[in-house]
Amino acid sequence: DAKTTQPTSMDCAEGRAANLPCNHSTISGNEYVYWYRQIHSQGPQYIIHGLKNNETNEMASLIITEDRKSSTLILPHATLRDTAVYYCIVNFGNEKLTFGTGTRLTIIP
């Protein structure tokens, strides 16, 4: 079973920041928080991952709370192409990925 809880769906206006929350209250000390997204009819796309510190790359930012029990993925300027299902996954980084149901993000023009 997935170790994370995410909202089923979210909407965001185009051009605004999309903030996707994830709860992972049972995360262990060596587990990372990974984010993937899946656009319709495509394979999952890696976005970002982190252990304790906040992370940023060209796609997104990942904010992890100090107690590591929750995190937020931030897409700074959402476009229509960001419409997808977003998966938050807790993992040691060397094992199978266990996908939950994810958050269906819809970007509204």
Partner 1 sequence: EAGVAQSPRYKIIEKRQSVAFWCNPISGHATLYWYQQILGQGPKLLIQFQNNGVVDDSQLPKDRFSAERLKGVDSTLKIQPAKLEDSAVYLCASMLGREGGDTQYFGPGTRLTVL
Residues making contact with partner 1 (CB under 8 A): 2, 30, 32, 34, 36, 41-46, 49, 51, 87, 92-94, 96-102
If you search the block for the tokens 């304790």, which residue do you land on? 52
Report the residue number, 14 or 32, with the smaller CB distance to partner 1: 32
- List for the chain the helix, strand, coil content (%; round to 5): 5, 45, 50
Smallest gap from Cβ 14 to partner 1, in A, equals 26
By beta-carbon proximity to partner 1, the closer residue of 18 and 35 is: 35
DSSP state, residue 81 = G
Q: How far is CA 32 from the centre of its chain?
A: 12
- Our CB check for partner 1 shows the closer of 12 and 87 to be 87
